[in-house]
């Protein structure tokens, strides 16, 4: 199943400057895993060492945050588009 | 060392936001253009700190707000090139929390506010290995304007 993942500009140097990557997968988690298989340098910026998605990394499926759906288990269909959008957080302590 | 080109007027906008938000942290989005080694800020988008607690030492820009900023930038033919936030009564240096929640390839401008007055402004970029932040020069001279009187402490080499 072919899904398009839109790559945020800061991360495009890890995808050979591609703004969109076609991946395979039946769920959001599988699609992201295929993305990092194709572009391994992306992995550390999306995932923690334990394999969990970093807390500030958000994935939108056709403009809806997948946390409001079935998170990584959300099914995807051919033609779907996933966006990777960071939340920006921090602070002095 | 990379350079962040930003006008004194935009720095003043950020400084005012940091000052009026004191003692809470403020935050916003930098919109512009980027090329290897140089980032040019053309718009500053001040947004609300979306944290519901600990706003004095934490800030949050939700993904919905980030997405809206990306769309606004695209509509202008520009891009989101960085973010800013303030450190009330603390130095303009990124914390461990800042490092854990950052990506390389964008600028993180931090404004130190001491007792509601802007004391310093520094800009940082995360290294590709995520291990450290590297400081970048804030450059106002190259865009032909003097530094703003209300933003002391901006690097001497940058002005």
Which domains does chain B carry?
Answer: 3-158 (3.40.140.10)
B130 burial (CB, 10 Å; 0-12 / 13-18 / 19+) is: middle
In order along chain A (93 residues), what is the average pLDDT of each group of 10 residues?
A: 91 94 97 97 94 93 91 95 93 79
Question: Which chain B residues are closer than 8 Å to A68 by Cβ?
Answer: none
Of B34, B80, B97, the CB nearest to A90: B97
Nearest CA in chain B to A91: B58
Mutate to test the interface with A, among B28, B36, B63 (most CBs of A within 10 A): B63
Site of tokens 């199943």: A1
Q: Rounded to whole angstroms, how far apart are CA atoms B144 and B26?
A: 28
Residue B23: asked if its preceding bond is cis (omega within 30°), the reply is: yes
For chain B positions 11-40, those within 8 Å of chain A (CB to CB) are: 25, 27, 29, 34
Q: What is the reported pLDDT for B142?
A: 52
Question: Which chain B residues are closer than 8 Å to A58 by Cβ?
Answer: 63
Reported pTM: 0.89
Q: CB distance from B102 to chain A under 8 Å?
A: yes
Query: Where in chain A are the domains?
Result: 2-86
Per residue of chain B (159 residues), give pLDDT as tens.
899 999 999 999 999 999 999 999 999 999 999 998 999 999 999 999 999 899 999 999 999 999 999 999 999 999 999 999 999 999 999 999 999 999 999 999 999 999 999 999 999 999 999 999 999 999 986 544 444 444 444 443 322
B12: closest CA of chain A, how far (Å) = 21
Q: What is the reported pLDDT for B80?
A: 95
Whether B95 and A10 lie within 8 Å, measured CB to CB: no
User: Do residues A90 and B102 touch, judged by C-beta distance below 8 A?
Assistant: yes
Q: CB distance from B45 to chain A under 8 Å?
A: no
A35: closest CA of chain B, how far (Å) = 17
* Count of Cβ atoms closer than 10 Å to residue B71 Cβ: 11
Q: Rounded to whole angstroms, how far apart are CA atoms A74 and B102?
A: 26
For chain A positions 24-53, those within 8 Å of chain B (CB to CB) are: 44-45
Helix/strand/coil (H/E/C) assignment for every residue in chain B? CCEEECCHHHHHHHHHHHHHHCCCCCEEEEEEEEECCEEEEEEEEEECCCCCCCCCCCEEECHHHHHHHHHHHHHCCCEEEEEEEEEECCCCCCCHHHHHCCCCCCEEEEEEEECCEEEEEEEEEECCCCCCEEEEEEECHHHCCCCCCCCCCCCHHHC
Pick among 3.40.50.10470, 3.40.50.1980, 3.30.300.30, 3.10.20.30: CATH of A2-86: 3.10.20.30
Per-residue pLDDT tens over the stretch A50-64: 999 999 999 999 889
Whether A92 and B62 lie within 8 Å, measured CB to CB: no
Q: Rounded to whole angstroms, how far apart are CA atoms B84 and B122?
A: 10
């Amino acid at each position: 199943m072919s899904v398009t993942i839109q790559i945020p500009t800061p991360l495009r140097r890890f995808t050979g400057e591609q703004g969109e990557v076609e991946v395979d997968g039946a769920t959001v988690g599988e699609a992201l895993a295929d993305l990092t298989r194709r572009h391994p340098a992306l992995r550390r910026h999306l995932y923690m060492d334990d394999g969990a998605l970093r807390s500030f990394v958000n994935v939108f499926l056709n403009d809806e945050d997948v946390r409001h759906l079935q998170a990584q288990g959300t099914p995807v269909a051919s033609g779907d588009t996933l966006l990777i959008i960071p939340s920006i957080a921090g602070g002095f302590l | 060392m990379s350079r962040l080109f930003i006008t004194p007027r935009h720095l003043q906008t950020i400084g005012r936001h940091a000052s009026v938000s004191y003692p809470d942290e403020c935050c916003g989005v930098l919109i512009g253009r980027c090329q290897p080694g140089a980032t040019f800020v053309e718009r500053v988008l001040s947004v609300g700190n979306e944290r519901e607690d600990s706003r004095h030492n934490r800030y949050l820009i939700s993904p919905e707000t980030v997405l809206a900023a990306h769309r606004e930038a695209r509509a202008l033919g520009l891009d989101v090139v960085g973010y800013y936030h303030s450190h009330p009564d603390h130095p303009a240096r990124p914390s461990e929390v800042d490092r854990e929640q950052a990506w390389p390839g964008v600028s993180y401008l931090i404004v130190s506010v001491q007792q509601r007055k802007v004391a310093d402004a520094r800009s940082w970029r995360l290294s590709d290995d995520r291990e450290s932040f590297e400081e970048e020069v804030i450059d106002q001279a190259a865009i032909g304007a003097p530094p703003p009187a209300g933003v002391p402490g901006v690097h001497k080499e940058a002005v």
